[in-house]
């Protein structure tokens, strides 16, 4: 081997005479190993402190090879690829806050220390490591893949590096080990910790189950696209509520389509694809909140005050809903990217470890909050309907303020009431589906009931179709459109809205 070539790190425990190129009084650390300029062999004695001995000793040359090339090369070598990742325990910008010995009891907290683990490109031999001295930079995977783990700490003399394929190289006093399932991070004092798996987190959902739920999502997709298309195309459905419902359905259809394709074909979900799915699913829930708020605005402000928005103001109102429904998910996705967390939602996942549960911090809590706020909005809207019904009954009985009664838009009131019923029913289904999703995520069992919960969640598009289209009035509008714009005969029993007296419903 060329004397100026790569450095060789040897960990032979059988040699009685050790070659070192620097005086080392303690266990070697990263800086001590990499600061050695001469291409000598570094050995670590398992029983005594390393000593500096003459390099010209003939006995030493006989007992130990000159370089790693004279040793047998390991059959499994680290190879860099596009999927090579360095596993970081905590999200970006956070450090370990260890208060117990086991990693499963460790927590992550905001930190300011830079995470710069030693990354080397090396060739592995029998009890010898040849450093190729190539600077390597690897992207991060966030989270601990272990149920239970062993802990290594730099402050206790453990020496570890990251190889070019993202695996963890651990040096001890006798040899070295390479771990594929691990995570690495620093604590607030700056000490580097490595955790290797005793038992690894495994997905309890079989591939056949994943494909089944993914197919159900694909079945939901055409149903959602039909709802979106009809509410955009039909003039009688193309109002503020219809446009919002159309985009809500389109967002869920997009998220389900990409999500199912990723799982059916085994496409890596880390990075951009995961963030796209997260954005689409979050937008669906934000749009639902906007639709609930639209009912609340109608029943507490527009209808009681007899306000009719112009087309311009209607579009302004719709623009505000778009801003909220797209800005909210964008902020959450930005925070996810900033922390280095995977964007993939919790579907098909089980939070078997703290790090997996931590990866959903910008999906599960926001969705839970949105559904809770939507539920409160629907409750307030319900009292708004009770309030208007009371006013209408009192005015009819007393025959007072007939001019105000004549200005009240009874037909729009009935439309808003029907929309509110559909939204409330969808809200109940969404809350039930979300509770089932949380059960599957936080449960550690492998029960068939968890699979049924995922199936219910995958059919949300079918529920949207049944609720918003398969009702009498909308079915009639669709049939009229289908049979050449009004040639279909509509009977009185087909319509859910009754004919309103002209005195109470001016056109």
- Over residues 355-389, the pLDDT tens digits come to 778 888 999 999 999 999 999 999 999 999 888 87
Residue 102 lies in a domain: yes
Q: What pLDDT does 203 receive? A: 55
Residue with tokens 């069992």: 445
Q: Is residue 126 included in any domain, yes or no?
A: no
Confidence at residue 54, expressed as pLDDT on a 0 to 100 scale: 40
* 348 in Cβ contact with 207 (< 8 Å): no
183 membership: H or E segment, kind and range? strand 182-186
Average pLDDT over residues 481-506: 47
Residues 299-320: pLDDT tens digits? 998 888 888 888 888 899 999 9
215 plus 319 within the same structural domain: yes
- Whether 370 and 285 have beta carbons less than 8 Å apart is answered as yes
Query: Could you tell me which residues come within 8 angstroms of residue 221 by beta carbon, excluding any fewer than 6 positions away?
Result: 253, 256, 257, 260, 461
Read out DSSP for 412-426?
A: HHHHHHHHHHHHHHH
CA dihedral 218, 262, 350, 255 (to 10 degrees): -50
Can you give the CATH number for the domain in which 157 is found?
2.170.180
Are the CB atoms for 107 and 358 separated by under 8 Å? no
CB 17 within 8 A of CB 59: yes
Pick from 320, 325, 263: which is nearest to 454 by CA?
263
Mean pLDDT along residues 484-497: 46
* Full residue range of the structural domain in which residue 429 is found: 207-494
- What torsion, rounded to 10 degrees, do the Cα atoms 441, 443, 449, 454 define? 0
Residue that finishes a domain, picked among 163, 184, 200: 200
Q: Are residues 240 and 359 in the same domain?
A: yes
Please report, rounded to a whole number, the percentage of residues in the chain having pLDDT higher than 90: 24
Let me know whether 173 and 101 are in one domain.
yes
Bin 66: left if φ > 0, else alpha if -120 < ψ < 50, else beta: alpha
- Residues 182 and 216 placed together within one structural domain of the fold: no
pLDDT of residue 68: 78
Q: Are residues 165 and 220 in the same domain?
A: no
Say if residue 187 is in the same domain as residue 214: no
Q: In this predicted structure, what is the pLDDT of residue 26? A: 32
Tens digit of pLDDT for each residue in 143-194? 888 877 888 887 776 788 899 999 999 887 777 889 888 989 888 888 888 8
- My answer on whether 113 and 227 are in the same domain is no
Quick one: 467 and 365 in the same domain? yes
**Helix residue ranges per DSSP H, 92-234:** 207-233
424 and 347 share one domain: yes
Looking at the predicted structure, is the pLDDT value of residue 249 above 80? yes
Does 504 map to a domain? Answer: no
| Cβ-based neighbour number of residue 82 at 10 Å | 7
Do you know the residue count of the chain? 507
Does one domain contain both 262 and 409?
Answer: yes
pLDDT tens-digit series, residues 103-123 = 444 578 887 778 888 888 988
**Rounded mean pLDDT of the chain?**
76
Give the residue among 207, 208, 251 at the shortest CA–CA distance from 228. Answer: 251
Residues 231 and 332 in one domain: yes
Confidence of residue 401 (pLDDT cuts 50, 70, 90): low
- Among 348, 347, 207, 341, smallest CA distance to 266 is for 207
Report the distance separating Cα 396 and Cα 415, nearest Å: 21
Whether residue 336 sits in one domain with residue 407:
yes
């Amino acid at each position: 081997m060329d004397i100026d070539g790569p450095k060789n790190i040897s960990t032979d425990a059988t040699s009685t005479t050790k070659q070192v190129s620097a005086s080392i009084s303690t266990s070697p650390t990263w800086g001590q190993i990499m600061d050695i300029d001469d291409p000598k062999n570094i050995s670590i004695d398992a029983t005594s402190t390393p000593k500096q001995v003459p390099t010209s000793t003939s006995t030493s040359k006989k007992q130990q090879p000159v370089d790693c090339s004279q040793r047998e090369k390991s059959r499994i070598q680290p190879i860099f690829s596009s999927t090579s990742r360095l596993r970081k325990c905590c999200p970006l910008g956070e450090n370990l806050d260890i208060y117990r010995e086991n990693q499963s009891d460790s927590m992550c907290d905001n930190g300011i220390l830079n995470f710069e683990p030693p990354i080397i490109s090396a060739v592995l031999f029998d009890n010898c490591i040849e450093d190729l001295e190539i600077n390597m930079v690897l992207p991060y995977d966030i989270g601990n893949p272990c149920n239970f783990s062993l802990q290594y700490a730099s402050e206790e003399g453990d020496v570890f590096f990251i190889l070019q394929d993202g695996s963890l190289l651990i040096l001890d006093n006798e040899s070295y080990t390479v771990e594929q399932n691990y995570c690495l991070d620093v604590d607030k004092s700056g000490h580097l910790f490595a955790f290797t798996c005793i038992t690894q987190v495994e997905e309890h959902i079989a591939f056949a189950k994943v494909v089944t739920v993914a197919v159900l999502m694909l079945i939901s997709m055409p149903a959602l696209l039909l709802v979106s298309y009809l509410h955009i195309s039909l003039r009688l459905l193309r109002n503020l509520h219809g446009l919002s419902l159309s985009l809500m359905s389109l967002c869920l259809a997009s998220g389900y389509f990409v999500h199912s394709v990723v799982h059916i074909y085994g496409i890596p979900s880390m990075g951009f694809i995961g963030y796209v799915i997260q954005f689409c699913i979050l937008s669906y829930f934000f749009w639902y909140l906007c639709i609930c708020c639209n009912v609340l605005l109608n029943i507490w402000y527009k209808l009681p005050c007899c306000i009719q928005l112009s087309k311009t103001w209607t579009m302004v109102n719709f623009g505000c809903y778009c801003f909220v429904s797209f800005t909210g998910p964008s902020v959450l996705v930005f925070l996810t990217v900033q922390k280095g967390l995977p964007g993939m939602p919790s579907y098909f996942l089980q939070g078997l470890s703290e790090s997996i549960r931590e990866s959903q911090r910008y999906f599960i809590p926001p969705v839970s909050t949105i559904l809770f706020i939507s539920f409160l909005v629907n409750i307030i809207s319900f009292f708004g309907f009770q309030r208007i019904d009371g006013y209408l009954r009192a005015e009819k009985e007393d025959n007072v303020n007939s001019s105000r009664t004549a200005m009240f838009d009874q037909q729009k009131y009935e439309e808003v009431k029907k929309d509110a019923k559909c939204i409330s029913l969808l809200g109940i289904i969404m809350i039930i589906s979300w509770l089932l999703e949380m059960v599957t995520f936080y449960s550690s069992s492998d029960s068939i009931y968890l699979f049924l919960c995922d199936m219910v969640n995958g059919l949300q598009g079918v529920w949207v179709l049944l609720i918003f289209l398969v009702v009498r009035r909308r079915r009639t509008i669709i049939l009229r459109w289908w049979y050449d714009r009004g040639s279909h005969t509509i009977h009185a029993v087909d319509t859910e809205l009754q004919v309103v007296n002209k005195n109470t419903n001016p056109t």
